Structure 1
Amino acid sequence: MSARRPPQSIHAHTAQSAPAVPATSKRLPFIDALRGLAALWVVIFHIGEGRHVAALQSALPTWLNLALFESGHLGVPIFFVLSGFVIALSIGRDRVTARYGARFALRRAIRLDLPYWASIAITLAFAAVKAHLRPGTGLPITTTPQLLAHLVYLQDFLGYRSINTVYWTLCYEIQFYLMFCMLLGVAHACRRDANDRRPQAILFTLAAITSVVWPLLPALHVRGLALPNWHGFLLGAFVFWTLSGVMRARWFALYALALTGVFARTHDAFTMACLIMAVILLLVGRAGHLTDWLRTHTLQWLGKVSYSLYLLHLPITGAAFFALDKVFAHTPVQNGMAALIVITLNCLAAWLFWRTVERPSSALAKRIRKA
C-alpha cells in the first residue's frame, strides 16, 4: 500500500458524490420536527408512568397504549442520534484545536447550561410547594454537594439522588460532546495535512468498536458513564459523515449490522430505536428531504421548544395532575381530557421558558465565534 493512499477504513471521502446535507447555517426542519415529537413522546410516557391516566390506558387497545404511553422512553435514543448528527454537522470540516474545542464547549455550555440551571431552580420550587402541601414528601435535594454535582452534570456519577429524573440524559449528552470533540481534536492534531483522514479513521474505528462491545459487557458499566449508550450518538454522527461523503456507506452499513448483532444479543430496545432513527435519517437525507419534510408550523414550533419542554415537563405534569385530580373523575374520557390539558400546559410553560430563558441563551451562545 502506498504511503499516500488512504486506508480502507470507515472514513473515506468520495470526491464524486455530492454532499446530501446543506450548509451548517441552514435549518433542518425534518430534524427539528423529530426532536419535538421525541420530546412530546417522553412527556406522554411520563404521564403514563406516573399512573395519572390509568383508566384511559386500560381502555385503549394494547397496541395503542404500548405505542403512546409505554414506549415513549424511546424518545431518548432519538435525541441521542439527532444530537450526534447535529454536532457533526455543526463542526463540519472545521479543524478542531484546543482553542476551537474550548470555544465550542463554551458555546454549548451557554446554550444548554443556563436553561438547565434555571430548570433546576424551577423543579426545586415545585418540590418545595409539594412538600408544603403534602407534609412528609421531602425535597429532592438535601446537601450543597448534591446541588453542585447537578450544576456540572456529575450527580449520577457521584451517586447523588437526581433532582429531576430526566437529567441523566443531559449528563450523557455532555459526555458525548466531550468525547466526540476530543477524538476529533486528537485526530486533527495527528494528521499530516488537511486531506489526511487516517488519524480520524483510526480513532473513530476504535470508538465504533468500543461502542459495540461496551453494551455486551455489563461488568464494565459504571453508573453515570455514557459509554453503554455511546453508539446512539455515533450513529447520528456517522449518518452525517455518510451523507456528506466523509464516510463510505458500506462502513456505516457494517457498523449498523454490528449494532443489530448487539440488539440480537441484548434485546435492548434502546439500540434498535437508535438504529431505526439512524436509517430513517440516512434515507431521508439521501432523498434530499431533510430541509422540506415535516415543515408544518406546529411541528417546527414543537421542535423549537423541545429542550424547554423536556426540562420542565416532570414538575409541570405532577403539579397539573395534582390539581386536576380534584376536578376530574378517574374515567377513560376524563383521563383523556386531563391528559390533553396537561400536555397543553406543558407546551405553554415550555414556550414561556423558551422565550425568557432558552432563546436569550441561544442568542448569547451564537455571539461566541467558533475560532
Structure 2
Amino acid sequence: MSIEESSSKGFLGRLEALRGVAALWVAVGHSMIWLVIGSEPAIWSKPLWAVQGIQAHIARATISVFSGAAAVDIFFVLSGFVLARSIFRSNLSVQGYLRFAVRRLFRIIPAFWFSLLVVLFYLLVIYPGHEDFPGASEWFTRWYSDPLSIREWIENATFVSPWLNPNAWTLKVELLASALLPFIVWFLGSRKAVRSIIALLCTVALAWIYRDAPSDLGHYVYMFVVGAILASHGSQLRSAVTESGLFVVGCLLLILAASVCFPLIHPLAADFLVVTGTAGLVWALGFGHSSKILRIFDAQWCRYLGRVSYSFYLLHFIVLYGTGHLVLRILPSAVVIRWPLVIMSFVCFLSVLIAICLAQLSYSWVEKPFTLLGRRFQLKDSTLARTEI
C-alpha cells in the first residue's frame, strides 16, 4: 500500500484501491458470521444453495459477494505482482536482498504490533470477561476464552500464534513469501515463459500437497508466483487479451462463482477460480485496461480505503468483536436469536466506521512513519521504494 502514488494513469492508486476493496470484503465477511442464523451455525462452511432459511440465504449471499477467503487470495496475488515488478527493475544482490527484507519488516510489523496493543487495551481495560451468549456462533465464542498471558502475547507478536488477532496468519504467509520472492524473481529471469511454467507447476503441486493446511505458506505460494509472472509477462499480453468490459466482468464472475459454490475455507478448486479471476483483474488494473467498470477504483472513497486498508484490515476484527460483545450483553437473547441478520448488518456498519477511524490513526502515526523509515534501506536504484504498495 503506497504512501505516495505514481502519477502514471493512477496505476498504483488503482491497485491500492483494489486492496482496500478486498480489506472491506474481509470486514463484511466476518461481520456476517458471528451469530447463528436459525439452524445454520456456520453458513461459511456450505455453498450458497445448501443453507436453510431466508436470513441464512441473504447472509450467505452477502459473504459470497464480500468474501474474506477470496480477499486473502487477492492480497497474495497483488503482493506477488507489485513486489516482483519492483524487484525485476532492481539489481539483485545480497545487500539488496537484506535491504528489501528490512523494508518489508518495517512495512508489516509496526502496524501489526499496534493492533496487538489495541487488543491488549480492550482485553485489560474494557473486556468484561468471556461468556457463552445464546445466539453467538462458535466462530465468535471461541475468541478470548482463556486468560491473557505473557507467553500468549509473545507468541502472537512473533507470529507463532494468531490468537489475539486472527488476521495475523496472513501476515505470516506474507512475510515468508516476501522472503522467497526475490529468489522466485531470480528464477523467472528475463521473461522466459518456460521458467514461468515450471515455477507455476511446482508451486501448484506444492499447494496440492498442502491442500489440507489452509494457513501454511505451501498452500498459497503459487498465488505470489502468479503475481510475479504477471509482472514479468503482463505487458506481452496486451495483444492477446481483449479490452472489452466483458473480460473484467468474466474475472469478477469467476471470483463470485468460487464464493457461491464452495465453502469459504480455501478449498483448492475455489482458490484456483479466485486466483484466475484475480490475475485477470490485476492485469487489467496494472496495464491500463480501458473498461469503464474499472473506474470505480478511481473513486475517492475507494482510494482512501486503499490507503488505510492495511491498518483497517488489522483493526477491524477487534472492533467487530468488541461491538458484537457489547450488543450481545445489551439485547435480549430472544431478539438476537430472532433477528440475527438485522443485528449483524447494524454491527457491520458500525464496526466498519469505527475501524476506519482507528485505521486513520494507525496509518498516520504508525504505518506511514515506519514505512518511510524503512525506505531508507531502499535499493540504490530506488525503484522498489517508488512502486511498492
TM-score (norm 1): 0.73
Structure 1 counterpart of 2:358, which letter?
Answer: A
CA distance in 2, matches of 1:364, 1:126: 29
1:309 aligns with 2:305: no
> Which residue does 1:235 correspond to in 2?
226
1:108 aligns with 2:107: no
Structure 2 counterpart of 1:36, which letter?
Answer: G
Task: Provide, for residues 147-188 of structure 1, a one-character-per-residue CA deviation record: whole Å limited to 9, x for no partner.
Answer: 4443343x1xxxx46322111111101111111113345777
- Aligned pair partner of 2:90 in 89, 94, 100: 94
Structure 1 counterpart of 2:89, which letter?
Answer: R
1:41 aligns with 2:44: no
Alignment of 1:104-183 (within 5 A): 104-129=100-125, 132-134=128-130, 138-139=145-146, 141-144=148-151, 146-153=152-159, 155=160, 160=161, 162-183=163-184
> Which residue does 2:370 correspond to in 1?
361
Secondary structure of residue in 2 paired with 1:36: helix
Task: Choose 22-31 or 303-312, whichever is displaced more.
Answer: 22-31
> Which residue does 1:9 correspond to in 2?
none
> Which residue does 1:11 correspond to in 2?
none
CA distance in 2, matches of 1:311, 1:46: 13
CA distance in 2, matches of 1:241, 1:187: 8
Secondary structure of residue in 1 paired with 2:110: helix
Q: Residues 80 and 237 from structure 1, CA distance in 2 versus in 1: closer, same or farther, beyond 3 angstroms?
A: same
Q: Residues 318 and 61 from structure 1, CA distance in 2 versus in 1: closer, same or farther, beyond 3 angstroms?
A: closer
Shift of 1:326: 4.8
> Which residue does 2:347 correspond to in 1?
338
CA distance in 2, matches of 1:218, 1:369: 34
Alignment of 1:207-218 (within 5 A): 207-218=199-210
Task: Choose 66-75 or 345-354, whichever is displaced more.
Answer: 66-75
CA distance in 1, matches of 2:375, 2:19: 20
CA distance in 2, matches of 1:140, 1:124: 12
Shift of 1:353: 1.6
Task: Choose 203-212 or 268-277, whichever is displaced more.
Answer: 203-212
CA distance in 2, matches of 1:32, 1:244: 20
Higher-Rg member (1/2):
1
Identity within the alignment, %: 23
**Is the Cα–Cα contact under 8 Å of residues 320 and 347 in structure 2 kept in the other structure?**
no
* RMSD value, Cα: 3.8
Shift of 1:285: 4.0
1:69 aligns with 2:63: yes
**Is the Cα–Cα contact under 8 Å of residues 77 and 279 in structure 2 kept in the other structure?**
yes
**Is the Cα–Cα contact under 8 Å of residues 11 and 288 in structure 2 kept in the other structure?**
no
> Which residue does 2:3 correspond to in 1?
none
CA distance in 2, matches of 1:336, 1:53: 13
Structure 2 counterpart of 1:231, which letter?
Answer: Y
Shift of 1:302: 0.6
CA distance in 2, matches of 1:69, 1:43: 10
Alignment of 1:146-295 (within 5 A): 146-153=152-159, 155=160, 160=161, 162-184=163-185, 197=190, 204-218=196-210, 225-245=216-236, 268-288=269-289, 294-295=297-298
CA distance in 2, matches of 1:111, 1:25: 25
**Is the Cα–Cα contact under 8 Å of residues 128 and 139 in structure 1 kept in the other structure?**
no
CA distance in 1, matches of 2:30, 2:85: 31
Aligned length: 321
Task: Provide, for residues 49-76 of structure 1, a one-character-per-residue CA deviation record: whole Å limited to 9, x for no partner.
Answer: 2118889x965583x5334235332211
CA distance in 2, matches of 1:93, 1:122: 38
Structure 1 counterpart of 2:74, which letter?
Answer: I
Secondary structure of residue in 1 paired with 2:59: helix
> Which residue does 1:322 correspond to in 2?
325
Structure 1 counterpart of 2:220, which letter?
Answer: N
Shift of 1:114: 0.7
Structure 2 counterpart of 1:307, which letter?
Answer: Y
**Is the Cα–Cα contact under 8 Å of residues 236 and 278 in structure 1 kept in the other structure?**
yes
Task: Provide, for residues 285-334 of structure 1, a one-character-per-residue CA deviation record: whole Å limited to 9, x for no partner.
Answer: 44445996611110001111110011111111111122234556543545
> Which residue does 1:79 correspond to in 2?
75
**Is the Cα–Cα contact under 8 Å of residues 141 and 147 in structure 1 kept in the other structure?**
yes
Q: Which runs of 5+ in 2 are unaligned?
A: 1-5, 44-52, 133-143, 242-257, 259-266, 381-389
Structure 2 counterpart of 1:240, which letter?
Answer: A
Shift of 1:247: 12
Q: Residues 25 and 179 from structure 1, CA distance in 2 versus in 1: closer, same or farther, beyond 3 angstroms?
A: farther
Secondary structure of residue in 1 paired with 2:166: coil
Q: Residues 23 and 237 from structure 1, CA distance in 2 versus in 1: closer, same or farther, beyond 3 angstroms?
A: farther
Structure 2 counterpart of 1:174, which letter?
Answer: L
Q: Residues 327 and 181 from structure 1, CA distance in 2 versus in 1: closer, same or farther, beyond 3 angstroms?
A: same
Shift of 1:38: 0.7
TM-score (norm 2): 0.70
Task: Provide, for residues 340-366 of structure 1, a one-character-per-residue CA deviation record: whole Å limited to 9, x for no partner.
Answer: 122211222212221221121222222
**Is the Cα–Cα contact under 8 Å of residues 223 and 275 in structure 2 kept in the other structure?**
yes
CA distance in 2, matches of 1:110, 1:97: 20
Shift of 1:233: 1.4
**Is the Cα–Cα contact under 8 Å of residues 242 and 249 in structure 1 kept in the other structure?**
no
CA distance in 1, matches of 2:93, 2:194: 18
CA distance in 2, matches of 1:23, 1:214: 38
Q: Which runs of 5+ in 1 are unaligned?
A: 1-21, 189-196, 251-262
